[in-house]
Structure 1
Amino acid sequence: MSEALLIAVLALPAVGAAAAFFPDRAGRLFGTVLAALAFVASLLLGAYSQPASWFAYTPAAQGAPPIVPWTSVDTPWVPALDLRLHFGVDGVSYPLVVLTTLLTLLCCLYTLWHVPTGGRGSTLVALLLVVEVGMLGTFLALDLVLFFVFFEVVLLPMYAVIAGWGGERRRHAARKFALYTLFGSVLLLVGVFTVVAAAGTADLVTLTSGSVSLTRNTQLAAFALLAIAFAVKSPLWPLHTWLPDAHTQAPTVGSVLLAGVLLKMGTYGLIRVAVGVAPEGARWASPLLGALAVAAILVGCLVCLAQTELKRLIAYSSVGHMGFVLLGVATLTATGIQAALIGNVAHGIITGLLFFLAGAVKDRFHTGDLAVLGGLRERSPWLSGLLAFAAIASLGLPGLAGFWGEAFAVVAAFERGGAGWVTLGVLAAIGGALTAAYFLRMLRKVTHGAASPAVAAPPLPALRVSGMELVAWSPLVVLALLVGLVPAVVLGLSAAPVQSLVEAVTP
């Protein structure tokens, strides 16, 4: 049963992509139904393949490999090249699988109510579902070549989403996104070839188990290539400059998937592939990764303090948040990697909600300029309250999802010890304070004070939050609370594989 559900999670959105061939309204409805079925299948996949309580901490057996799939499918793909269709799910990948299916479903639901100008809604839904297939395949692939294939599947449909339904400078943003991603793809391909040629296998379970020995030079070269490739996708400073343009110009649903899940492909790949396959390279590069992570946190925060446009501010905030994720990974401790994993999930939930709300603001007032917006609390208290909730969750208030990843990334830096890591932890904590500063500045400009002319102009009925918007946003509000109050829903699943990964990396 679990194998059938694993296949269904990938197959259902692929079938849903046929929505492009339906009439517009029927196509959007068809795609949304298939997205809903994929979400249900992802929930059942966890229930059937991991029946034990998700909240119980189950330590890994001594010497257990980092990847022990709950369930897997393994069949020949290209026998002559020993390539296999090897898919599986475990506690590291499963939260991201559920996050992917949920956000895609919410985006498809959103298109039933609102289709951005630029093309048919059914085509947009079909492209979103193809992006979902690529993201899910990346999280489920247990073959390195298969991982690369799915990693690249998202490029063209996301390019089309930005170029077809984006803002005035959409084509420039889409080209920039494509060029940066292709640059990362070349490095990823060379890194994959380096590992597979040296190891004689592309199987990730075998490569991360320690049964295949790669030379030190091979590991250093492979880790450098893979880390840069994943840094482009995440994106991590200083390879982040495609992100603000893509987010600002993308339609709301494109921004939600881009920030909510697509960026996580890079950080997931860094943990699962780069660190797992080349642990010696990870140890060698960890101080540099830590320094780059803190630079990303501080640069992202300072740039956010200077932003004057709502979506660009949220986009640049992702640079800082991904910096905390990288800092956690760089420590190579169980605390740090757990912080990175829960930070990934929390960022997807909260930033997805922020982009939904930023899109709602722009739809109503036709601007995202912070200097023009103002007094939203007086005219639309529901929208203002939700925006405040999402901002406070993103700045890391205890009890909400954003707290755990950022706080424990700093703890992990102190735990690693030494003057250098303690300094990085202190600087990261300062970045956390600056995060609060720029989000509170944003709320002061957008929600407080007397209503600006732009906010006062629309009639009150146009400012009300619709039922479809509440349907699309409510699950993210609930999850931000749930993950914040009960972090074991994520950490309980990943504890054992993270413990095994850290044991494999520790010399």
Structure 2
Amino acid sequence: MGLNGFPILSLIVFVPILGSVIILFIPNKYEKAIKWTALGVSLIPLLLSVILWLNYDSSLPGMQFTEDYRWFPTINSRYRLGVDGISVPMIFLTALLTPAAILYSFGIKKHLKAYFALFLMLQMGLFGVFTSLDMVLFYVFWEIGLVPMYFLIYIWGSDNRRYAALKFFIFTLSGSVLMLLAIQVMYLATGTFSILEWTSNLQPFREGFKVWFLDSSVARQLSFWAFFIAFAIKVPIWPFHTWLPDAHTEAPTAGSMLLAGVLL
């Protein structure tokens, strides 16, 4: 854990959801309070991400600012967070774009509380994806990031928003199912959900090992293609890209900012 044990990553991840809860308790008639609370809360991770970047030592290998706590010991899953030279800029980009998108959204009139609460929830999901070092935790944050985007398109999108939201949901749900399958196969092969252990063990599928009724070579190919298609849908790349034009054109402008700037 960096910064003398200060849990900066947990704060970056969970401050937005705290803001979402606060917003839900603000009466609807106080529209300015809702908007400025959302903006103020979104600026806290921006400040923390600047501190994170300034304290990150690019000369050191491996993960930094790591946090590791017991979570689900029965399945050997832990609450593990950490960052490297790729995730630090992505965290900063998310922290920078979210206040800008919220500020642009001050003109929103419909369902203000839900809109800004979902936006902060989306920010939390993105931060979680960029910091997770446990695959169960990664998957949870991955799904948390998709749910708000669906509702942002469905409720605050343009004229064809329902079709775009449904298409987004079907594609991303398909990718999520495939990712869950791949995660289960990897767990059965390695006995852990630790991403660091997965990457350090270059041959988790030893010869003669079976996953369910599949031999090691088939299980290896299954997990690879399941992960590949899941991420290909999210990126997206051809031929899994057809949800993107509809989502971009129908999503509210602020949602498209995060969709194009961070989610893809």
Same fold (TM over 0.5): yes
The 5 A counterparts of 1:37-436 are: 37-48=44-55, 50=56, 52=57, 58=59, 68-112=62-106, 114-115=107-108, 119-210=110-201, 213-215=204-206, 217=217, 218-263=219-264
Paired residue secondary structure (1:154): helix
Change (3 A) 1:211 1:71: farther
Aligned partners of 2:189 and 2:114: how far apart in 1? 42
| Pairwise CA distance, 1:20 | 3.2
| Pairwise CA distance, 1:206 | 1.1
Tell me what 1:24 maps to.
Answer: 31
Aligned partners of 1:59 and 1:156: how far apart in 2? 36
Aligned partners of 2:60 and 2:262: how far apart in 1? 28
Amino acid at match of 2:149: M
| Pairwise CA distance, 1:212 | 6.0
Paired residue secondary structure (1:167): coil
Paired residue secondary structure (2:179): helix
TM-score by length of 1: 0.47
**Between 202-211 and 155-164, the greater mean CA deviation after superposition:** 202-211
Q: Percent same amino acid among aligned pairs?
A: 38
Aligned partners of 2:132 and 2:145: how far apart in 1? 15
Which of the pair has more CA radius of gyration?
Answer: 1
Q: Which has the higher contact order (CA 8 A, sep 6+)?
A: 2
Amino acid at match of 1:72: T
Aligned partners of 2:178 and 2:229 also within 8 Å: yes
Tell me what 1:4 maps to.
Answer: 7
4+ residue runs over 6 A deviation: none
Amino acid at match of 1:194: V
CA RMSD of aligned residues (A): 1.7
| Pairwise CA distance, 1:59 | 8.3
The answer to whether residue 40 in structure 2 is matched with residue 33 in structure 1 is yes
Aligned partners of 1:206 and 1:212 also within 8 Å: no
Aligned partners of 1:25 and 1:121 also within 8 Å: no
Amino acid at match of 2:221: L
Aligned partners of 1:199 and 1:213 also within 8 Å: yes
Amino acid at match of 2:25: F
Paired residue secondary structure (1:207): helix
Aligned partners of 2:246 and 2:6: how far apart in 1? 40
Amino acid at match of 1:15: L
Aligned partners of 1:206 and 1:3: how far apart in 2? 25
Tell me what 1:267 maps to.
Answer: none
Q: How many positions carry a matched residue from both structures?
A: 247
| Pairwise CA distance, 1:223 | 1.2
Aligned partners of 1:21 and 1:27 also within 8 Å: no
Aligned partners of 2:90 and 2:149: how far apart in 1? 19
| Pairwise CA distance, 1:221 | 2.0
Aligned partners of 2:15 and 2:159: how far apart in 1? 34
Aligned partners of 1:239 and 1:70: how far apart in 2? 34
Amino acid at match of 1:120: H
Q: Answer 1 or 2: which has greater helix percent.
A: 1
* Structure 2 stretches lacking a partner, 5+ long: 207-215
Aligned partners of 2:12 and 2:225: how far apart in 1? 32
Aligned partners of 2:76 and 2:191 also within 8 Å: no
Aligned partners of 2:202 and 2:246: how far apart in 1? 44
Aligned partners of 1:201 and 1:4: how far apart in 2? 24
Amino acid at match of 2:46: F
* Structure 1 stretches lacking a partner, 5+ long: 61-67, 264-507
Aligned partners of 1:25 and 1:122 also within 8 Å: no
